[in-house]
């Protein structure tokens, strides 16, 4: 078995040579990525045009696959982050058809050899997660790409000096202006994350999921989309055949995702996604370790259910418990690792369960992507419940909409009429919509964010989905795959695992699994007359996972922030608002009012408060630089010393 894994990449391509002056700044910036690859560090100047720097976490072919990886008598140099799960098969094909020569046992060499022989079409053959860049010394041309679903990150910055690329944005900040983009702040407050391709810093962007880039000193950076997930639902009468296909395709994906020269474990929650992955992984390694996380608060912990599943599957599960004080103490480090705020509270337990897993294994399998692929969110049932209204003629819908406006708030039926007479393009913006009211958003934002609205992000996605002829349920899946999955789910999965030098793999987000999921009709995802979601997947896994899990709604690592913000976290939250230095951007007195109302039980404002708190911590670290997140080694070189000595940890005492 062989392969290579670089978890932190940093590259600089000069538009005018003379890169030597960037050696020291690049070496310093590289230390900001140390957590992504503590096993090896490298920095190489190539022909005075390019600097390749990397931090390596060794997973496969630990000894041979050093980076940057040369190929074909040093014509090509590659820096690579990810795993190619079908690299053995591709290696054999390249040898058989093209007499390709390999000097390592790694998957990285397959990528660069494939590029030499197949050109950009190599991307259509790679089955895995990746972000890489290749420098062709002969053509003086760079080519790079991200995987189809956006599992591995790549950020870029263009300046008068050239092009910078990095796994994480923080490594580009020393070369950027550091100005906050108010439009993206508006989107953050709506979506609870910054949608691709943007970041909160002007000038720094992300290569999108399924995109590739080319750059040469004499040309502009060119980015194009080589992969778009296209749903093509088709009628299916033979249900048993499709259930079998789902199960066997996922089984093969899990088998490939377990290729490694280091121990592989798995996350285990209470739902069917992670349980399915563990059940299939156990077939290939009966000794696989699993990890779960929960809280002491009633109704919020998945530990008991996960342990029940573990007993049924005869695997060991190692639990972790998180309390409010753990959460408060860790939040600065978590936000530092995120790069941009992601105000999803579930990333906190994910951080702690990854920390526990890293004590035992180097790689974990996880269940991300199943909901987007197979139709797993309860909100996907909404078009079915509203179908009697949405099918009415436009004049009748307008009349009902007008009627809904005069019905007092809180009266039963008002929301139903409003939603049923609102087009899906305006009704659904993805899985999260925090500050949804335009007036509320304008009140919160101190600076004019222009005409930024959530529809600026979703409108082109709905246009693509409509052109594909999709039904409303599948349109919602498409929007979530293009926004929520990339901006929230996969960002937190990558950053919270990499914070502990742990590689997280997602067998659901696989090309072959997608090929099966993309053809499912609506009725096999959210069948009419049922509260079930992911129906076809549940039926497919019914013989694999414990019966009690098959139809259990997922909890998804729920976090008791609603309870904690009214109790243990109240004073801590007030201190963050007062000390963040973000009052020139946000009306934090308004947020303090939301916090008081929440504590008094007048409203559940927890999601809005949490979204602002995470931004405030981010602002204190990356903009005001008044907060040291407690990151070891040289990473804190990004920050100034806190002038006031303020530390969030100081505000974590219980409120009397």
- Distance from C-alpha of 352 to C-alpha of 500, rounded to nearest angstrom: 9
Q: How far apart are CA 80 and CA 355, in angstroms?
A: 24
Evaluate the omega torsion of the peptide bond into residue 197 and state whether it is cis, within 30 degrees of 0: yes
Sheet holding 76-84, edge to edge: 69-71, 76-84, 128-136, 141-146, 211-215, 222-225
The three-state secondary structure class of 128 is strand
End-to-end alpha-carbon separation of the chain, Å? 58
* Lookup: tokens for 96: 């058989």
Backbone angles phi, psi at 302, to 5 degrees: -100, 0
- Alpha-carbon distance of 192 to 295, in angstroms, equals 23
How far apart CA 303 and CA 321 sit, in angstroms, is: 9
d(CA 555, CA 33): 32
Question: What single DSSP character describes residue 605?
Answer: -
With beta carbons less than 8 A apart as the criterion, state whether 328 and 610 touch.
no
Measured CA to CA, the distance from residue 149 to residue 127 in angstroms comes to 11
The whole-angstrom separation of Cα 267 and Cα 366 is 5
Q: Give the single-character DSSP code of 486.
A: I
Q: What does each C-alpha distance from 429 to 63, 248, 391, 415, 457 come to in angstroms?
A: 47, 33, 21, 17, 9
> Catalytic annotation on 7?
yes
Q: 445 and 585 in contact (C-beta within 8 Å)?
A: yes
Q: Are 259 and 106 in contact (CB under 8 A)?
A: no
What are the helix (H) ranges across 32-131? Answer: 87-98, 107-118
Give pairs for 17-22: CB < 8 Å, separation 24+. Answer: 17/48, 17/49, 18/48, 19/45, 19/48, 19/49, 19/50, 19/51, 20/45, 20/48, 22/51, 22/161
Provide Rg for the chain, Cα atoms: 25
Place of tokens 């409303």: 472
Task: Please identify which of the residues 4, 7, 212, 616 carries the catalytic annotation.
Answer: 7
HSE toward the beta carbon, residue 113, CA cutoff 13 A: 23
Q: How far is CA 465 from the centre of its chain?
A: 22
The rounded distance, in Å, linking the Cα atoms of 218 and 209 is 26
Give the Cα separation of 506 and 372 in Å (integer).
13
Q: How many CA atoms lie within 13 Å of 635's alpha carbon, on the beta-carbon side? A: 22
Shortest CA distance to 2 belongs to which of 59, 50, 55?
59
- Residue 272 token pair: 């069917």
What is d(CA 590, CA 140) in angstroms, rounded to the nearest whole number?
54
- Catalytic amino acids? 7
């Amino acid at each position: 078995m062989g392969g290579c894994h670089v978890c932190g990449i940093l590259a600089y391509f000069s538009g005018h040579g003379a890169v030597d002056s960037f050696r020291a700044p690049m070496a310093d910036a590289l230390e900001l990525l140390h957590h992504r690859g503590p096993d090896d560090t490298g920095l190489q100047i190539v022909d005075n045009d390019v600097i390749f720097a990397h931090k390596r976490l060794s997973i496969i072919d630990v000894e041979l696959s050093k980076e940057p990886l040369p190929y074909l008598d040093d014509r090509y140099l590659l820096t690579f982050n990810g795993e190619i799960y079908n690299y053995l098969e591709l290696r054999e094909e390249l040898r058989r058809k093209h007499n390709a020569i390999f000097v390592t046992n790694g998957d990285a060499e397959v990528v660069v050899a494939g590029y030499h022989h197949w050109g950009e079409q190599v991307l259509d053959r790679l089955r895995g997660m990746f972000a890489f860049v290749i420098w062709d010394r002969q053509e003086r041309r760079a080519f790079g790409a991200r995987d189809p679903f956006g599992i591995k990150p790549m950020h870029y910055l263009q300046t008068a000096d050239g092009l910078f690329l990095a796994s994480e944005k923080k490594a580009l900040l020393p070369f950027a202006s550091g100005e906050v983009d108010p439009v993206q702040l508006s989107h953050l407050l709506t979506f609870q994350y910054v949608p691709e391709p943007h970041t909160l810093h002007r000038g720094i962007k992300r290569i999108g999921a399924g995109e590739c880039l080319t750059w040469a000193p004499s040309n502009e950076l060119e980015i194009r989309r080589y992969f778009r997930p296209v749903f093509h639902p088709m009628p299916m009468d033979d249900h048993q055949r499709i259930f079998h296909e789902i199960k066997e395709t996922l089984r093969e994906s899990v088998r490939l995702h377990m290729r490694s020269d280091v121990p592989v474990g798995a996350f285990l929650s209470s739902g069917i996604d992670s349980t399915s992955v563990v059940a299939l992984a156990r077939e290939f390694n009966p000794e696989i370790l699993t990890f779960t996380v929960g809280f002491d608060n009633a109704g919020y912990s998945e530990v008991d259910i996960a342990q029940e599943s573990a007993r049924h599957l005869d695997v060991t599960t190692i639990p972790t418990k998180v309390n409010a004080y753990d959460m408060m103490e860790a939040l600065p480090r978590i936000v530092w690792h995120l790069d941009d705020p992601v105000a999803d509270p579930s990333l906190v337990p994910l951080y702690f369960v990854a920390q526990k897993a890293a004590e035992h294994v180097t790689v974990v399998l996880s269940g991300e992507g199943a909901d987007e692929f197979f139709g797993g969110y309860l909100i996907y049932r909404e078009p079915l419940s509203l179908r009697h209204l949405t099918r009415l003629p436009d004049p009748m819908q307008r009349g009902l909409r007008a009627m809904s406006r005069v019905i007092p708030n809180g009266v039963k039926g008002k929301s139903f009429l409003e939603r049923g007479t609102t087009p899906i393009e305006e009704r659904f913006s993805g899985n999260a919509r925090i500050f949804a009211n335009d007036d509320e958003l304008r009140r919160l934002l101190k600076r004019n964010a222009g005409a930024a609205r959530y529809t600026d992000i979703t409108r082109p996605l709905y246009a693509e989905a409509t052109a594909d002829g999709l039904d409303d349920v599948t349109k919602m899946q498409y929007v979530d795959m293009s926004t929520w999955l990339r901006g929230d789910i996969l960002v937190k999965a990558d950053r919270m695992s990499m914070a502990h030098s742990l590689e997280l793999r997602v067998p659901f987000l696989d090309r072959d699994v997608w090929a099966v999921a993309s053809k499912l009709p609506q009725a096999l995802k959210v069948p009419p007359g049922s509260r079930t979601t992911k129906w076809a997947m549940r039926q497919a896994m019914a013989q694999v996972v414990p019966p009690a899990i098959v139809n259990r709604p997922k909890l998804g690592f729920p976090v008791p922030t609603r309870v904690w913000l009214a109790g243990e976290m109240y004073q801590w939250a007030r201190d963050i608002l007062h000390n963040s230095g973000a009052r020139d951007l946000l009306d934090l007195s308004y947020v303090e009012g939301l916090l008081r109302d929440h504590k008094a039980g007048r409203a559940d404002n927890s999601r809005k408060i949490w979204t602002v708190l995470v931004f405030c911590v981010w602002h204190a670290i990356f903009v005001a630089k008044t907060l040291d997140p407690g990151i070891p080694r040289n990473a804190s070189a990004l920050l100034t010393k806190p002038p006031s000595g303020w530390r969030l940890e100081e505000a974590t005492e219980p409120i009397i």
